[in-house]
Amino acid sequence: MSDTRPPDLRDLLKRHLALKAAMAKHPGYHPDAYLFVCAGVDYTCGKLGGRRDVSGPELVDGLCDMAVECFGFLAPQVLEHWGVKSAEDFGEIVFALVEAGLLGKSPRDSQADFRGLPALRETLRQRYRINVDVEV
């Protein structure tokens, strides 16, 4: 018998309502973009050895890796369909989630951390590689 407990439904409902409020206040992005960023924060923290304080550029790097892992060569199209066309868009979503209480931030974190980063489409294109192992 497992000693894991079921999730607290009140906590799940609270998170769900906070997420809905963030999406309503910042409607320019598809709901899946918000869920992707939430999952991407955990993915990036894990990729960085469990560190919980992640910079904007580190998060964008992790989100790009996760997008390519999840969607392959279609990653740019999926993100654009969700309204995410730049690293700044990721920053908008992150800070909407911070405002909703779903993510934390340190005093030195800023939306400016997401500005001036390489073009998202090009970054995703460079990360996707087709491996063709041919034995001759």
Q: 12 or 76: whose pLDDT is higher? A: 76
pLDDT at 97: 96
pLDDT at 12: 86
Q: 130 or 60: whose pLDDT is higher? A: 60
pLDDT at 69: 95
**What confidence tens digit (pLDDT) does each residue in 29-55 have?**
999 999 999 999 999 999 998 877 899
Are the CB atoms for 85 and 28 separated by under 8 Å?
Answer: no
Please say if the pLDDT value at position 1 is more than 60: no
Please say if the pLDDT value at position 124 is more than 70: yes
Provide the mean pLDDT of the chain.
91
Q: Pick from 130, 110, 129, 127: which is nearest to 119 by CA?
A: 127
pLDDT at 136: 62
**What confidence tens digit (pLDDT) does each residue in 86-96 have?**
999 999 999 99
Alpha carbons 88 and 106: distance in angstroms, whole number = 18
Length of the chain measured in residues: 136
Contacts of residue 102, defined as CB under 8 A and 6 or more positions apart, other chains included, come to 15, 18, 19, 22, 38
Instruction: Dump the DSSP string for 123-135.
Output: HHHHH--------
Residue 121 Cα distances to 80, 84, 87, 114, 124, angstroms: 9, 10, 10, 15, 5
